[in-house]
Structure 1
Amino acid sequence: MVDRKDIGSWLTGPDTSGISKYPGERLGLPEAGPGSIARAGRRIVAIVIDWGIALLISNFAFAGDSWGTLAIFAVEQILLVGTLGYSIGHRIAGIHVVKLGGGTAGPLAGLVRALLLCLVIPAVIFDPDQRGLHDRAMDTVLIRR
């Protein structure tokens, strides 16, 4: 005969003991405020601003060619994130890119992140800490300023 103990495990739900309470907890980052993980809203605002800037420049330089817009977007990301740790959109949204241990992302991280970001898929696939594949590849994190 089937006993309630036999089916009780699925009735109580999955084991959540290893899941963090908020994005960034496993990385040692605060839950809110400066240094916390940048949430989706800020990220979306930043990328829309950066894409808009690239589109404006592309309209004048390449007559709105979509590949030209993508190239300008990539160059902006490579140069600004690689040197300053933030793009124009990041700066306006109050976020920036840092290495997980601290410090600026660096030129290589700017290059790899930009190339993967231009593929779109790495940016929309993310882990529980809201780090996209492009951030995981370079061991970076997008945090609030």
Structure 2
Amino acid sequence: MPGSARDAANDYPGRRFGLPENGVSSVAGFGRRLAALAIDWALAMLVAALFVGSDALTAPGFNWWVLGVWFVLTAVPVAVFGSSAGMTAVGIRVASIDSAVVIGVPRAALRTALIAVVVPPLLRDEDGRGWQDKAARTIVVRTRD
């Protein structure tokens, strides 16, 4: 019977999308997402430093270079493959909730732009989806245990 105590006891993140409770294809936790973001940001800093030069950390506007590089290094692979380098390293990917194989460039760009604003990823629903995932109609799932 819907709405019963039994349904509440069996509820878990991703259930309404038909995802498993644990293991591969289950909803990725906040820790993995944060680790992936940190890896991607570190890669963006390294690549941006190649463009800016040896005094990158003190160069004016270096933060904007990092943000721009991070945006490209995140949005493009997520649009094409479903995951960035950091996501691949920690075993997660972005999946479409509407059965599309990949989310494509417009949705990946929107999702990445909202992550750059910082607040949307912190405001999450019962499925662990931040505002960026709701806007892009996506969910982040695990690719390995």
> TM-score, structure 1 length as denominator?
0.83
2-structure distance, mates of 1:73, 1:124? 19
Q: What is the number of residues matched between the two proteins? A: 131
Partner deviation per Cα, 1:58-112 (whole Å, 9 max, x = no partner): 2221224111101111111121111111000000111111111332111111110
Q: Distance in 1 between matches of 2:27 and 2:84?
A: 17
Percent sequence identity over aligned pairs: 34
Gap regions ≥5 residues in structure 1: 1-14
Tell which structure's C-alpha radius of gyration is larger. 1
Match of 1:117 in 2: 115
Determine the C-alpha separation between the residues in 1 that align with 2:39 and 2:124.
21
CA distance change for structure 1 residues 16 and 75 in 2, over 3 Å: closer, same or farther? farther
CA RMSD of aligned residues (A): 1.8
Distance 1:55 1:16, change over 3 A: farther
CA distance in 2, matches of 1:100, 1:142: 10
Which of 87, 90, 96 is the aligned partner of 1:90?
87
Partner of 1:104 in structure 2? 102
Amino acid in structure 2 at the alignment position of 1:82: A
Unpaired runs of at least 5, structure 2: none
1:80 paired with 2:77, answer yes
Provide TM-score, normalisation by structure 2.
0.83
